[in-house]
Structure 1
Amino acid sequence: MHIEVPPDVRATAVQLGAGVPYALKVLAGRLADDPDMGRPSGLHGVLTVMADGDLFEDCPDLSVGYVREPDRIRIRFLRPVDSTEPSAAAHDQNQDREQGRDQDQPVDTAAAAVTVREIADAWHRIARRLQSNAPDSCAALRAGASSAAIAALEEDLGVRIPLGLRVLWLLTAGDDGADGGGCLPGNRALMTLDAVAAAYRLKMDSRANQDTLNANRPEDERITVWKPTWIPVVALGPADSTSGLYLDAATGYLGSWSRYDEAPGDELDTQVTYLEEAADMLEAPDLATRDKPGLIGGTLVWLSRIDPVREERWRPLTG
């Protein structure tokens, strides 16, 4: 479901507090999952949903009005809820308690808020280091994808895209690479949305072929090469999708994949821990253990997969 947030609503969010844009993103993600979660507002065709400001930094309690259409949701207004007026927020919460619905909702909202903040903070840390030290690599990052583009990809894949991945793609829609390498450890690259769709189709075709072979094998000898919930997100390089990392939408963990259908490997990282470790290595390169970041001119180059021909030009990144 496409969520449309008009410019005036985005501007209002910025004016209301530093944490309000995050809160709005969280609500947008929840509305994409449950378009009918709102309640009648008294305005014709407009539903409202409340956000608890205590779950976000620098954010008041919010009332968000939206219109649900067959193929999209359009946010109509964003208003702070006056804490001196128990009114709508308190009344809605009491009704939720009576219906047994509110016990799960605050937990879900809190978890979503944390996810949005962690992904955004980790990526901003990476982007800031690139901007300061590796301008060529920074320039290779694409602008954020639109909600419509992400919704179209979700429909194409037929799998729900996790909130954290939505947030990342809203910040950047992929890495075109600098000097043939991406900005993530191992010179891997965040895949563009088109590359994600192409790799997913290829792996689903491999799955279908393997299922045919598995039909004639004992159960303990069957091979899993791909699952529908696995979303490819990171490639070996900007122009090399022979292998990479996928995000399991069912578990939230990353795993490794290859075009050659080797058994997938577990990375034991979530999207958050993977990005946070990359940011940590860029901010404190002397303490990095998994890989070593460095520079060749204005390009970030990770030592683990450096071309030997270029190694003499490589200089370690300093903190």
Structure 2
Amino acid sequence: MNHEPLPGAVTERQISDAWQRITDWLLHNAPASHAALGAGAAAEAITALEDDLDIRIPAALRTLWSLTGGDDGVNGAGCLPGNQALMSLDAVADFYRQQMDAQAHQDTLNARRPEYDRVTVWAAAWIPVISYGAADRTSGLYLDASTEYLGRWSRYNEGSGDGLDTLTTYLEDVADMPEAPALATRDKPGLVGGALVWGSRLDPAQEDRWQPLTG
């Protein structure tokens, strides 16, 4: 199902509500994952990033970053499905520049390639948001500032996934899954000690300690 982006004020409220549900659940059920979340970024820092990258940051992402500035992860794993992690603003800036440099190189090569063989590794409107792990950038999700839909990047040319998510619908789904794990479709949530760990990327060394959520 495709979800159309909503007006700014509605989006800001929905992002805040979804993130509050996520952090409340983590605080009471997975305190180690909760403790790994960074404090919200100042509005001035978000605006400075916007100016530095010369890109408009959509209201949904601006709201999320004002609530948390990233996820340091637990043993390298973040609290989002697939044990992915919300990137810090510094990581966003570094990765965006790296990808734009890679695209500039491809553009030089594309000038000599036939149109059907041209390569796009990154677009100027793509803002990296979520990475494979707290310090792993091999794949992740970006927010397209021009459409406000999420997309996937991958060093290994993995598929983009099914359907189109906005940041709002993604976070609402993430909030739903630990609360109603029997209905979870993206991934299977569970606990290892005080950390939220998702079944799709369960470390074999954790299998004996992983407790899948039920209900």
Please, what TM-score do these two structures have when normalized by structure 1? Answer: 0.63
Distance in 2 (alpha carbons) for counterparts of 1:219 and 1:265:
22
Say yes or no: does 1:231 pair with 2:127: yes
* Residue-by-residue CA offset, 1:245-282 (whole Å, 9 max, x unaligned): 1000000111111346x387366211011111111111
| Pairwise CA distance, 1:132 | 1.0
**Deviation >4 Å, runs of 4+:** none
SS of the residue 1:244 aligns to: strand
| Pairwise CA distance, 1:149 | 0.7
Contact 1:223 1:263 in 2 (8 A): no
Partner of 2:73: 177
Q: Relative to structure 1, is the Cα distance of residues 222 and 266 closer, same or farther in structure 2, using a 3 angstrom cutoff? A: farther
| Match 1:209 to one of 87, 105, 115 | 105
Say yes or no: does 1:265 pair with 2:176: no
Task: Return the index of the structure with the highest Cα Rg.
Answer: 1
| Match 1:154 to one of 44, 50, 71 | 50
SS of the residue 2:208 aligns to: helix
Distance in 2 (alpha carbons) for counterparts of 1:264 and 1:143:
32
Distance in 2 (alpha carbons) for counterparts of 1:241 and 1:154:
21
Equivalence map 1:22-171=2 (5 Å): 111-171=7-67
Distance in 2 (alpha carbons) for counterparts of 1:269 and 1:112:
16
Say yes or no: does 1:194 pair with 2:90: yes
For structure 1, which runs of at least 5 residues remain unmatched after alignment? Answer: 1-109
Contact 1:235 1:241 in 2 (8 A): yes
Q: Relative to structure 1, is the Cα distance of residues 288 and 264 closer, same or farther in structure 2, using a 3 angstrom cutoff? A: closer
Partner of 1:316: 212
Letter matched to residue 244 of structure 1: G
| Pairwise CA distance, 1:295 | 0.2
| Match 1:246 to one of 136, 142, 151 | 142
Letter matched to residue 138 of structure 1: H
Greater fraction strand: 1
Letter matched to residue 128 of structure 1: D
Partner of 1:297: 193
Identity %: 65
Contact 1:293 1:301 in 2 (8 A): yes
Distance in 1 (alpha carbons) for counterparts of 2:102 and 2:64:
27
SS of the residue 1:269 aligns to: coil
Please, what TM-score do these two structures have when normalized by structure 2? Answer: 0.93
Q: Relative to structure 1, is the Cα distance of residues 317 and 266 closer, same or farther in structure 2, using a 3 angstrom cutoff? A: closer
Distance in 2 (alpha carbons) for counterparts of 1:217 and 1:264:
24
SS of the residue 1:312 aligns to: coil
Letter matched to residue 180 of structure 2: A
Letter matched to residue 173 of structure 1: G
Distance in 1 (alpha carbons) for counterparts of 2:95 and 2:193:
32
Distance in 2 (alpha carbons) for counterparts of 1:112 and 1:200:
24
| Pairwise CA distance, 1:317 | 2.1
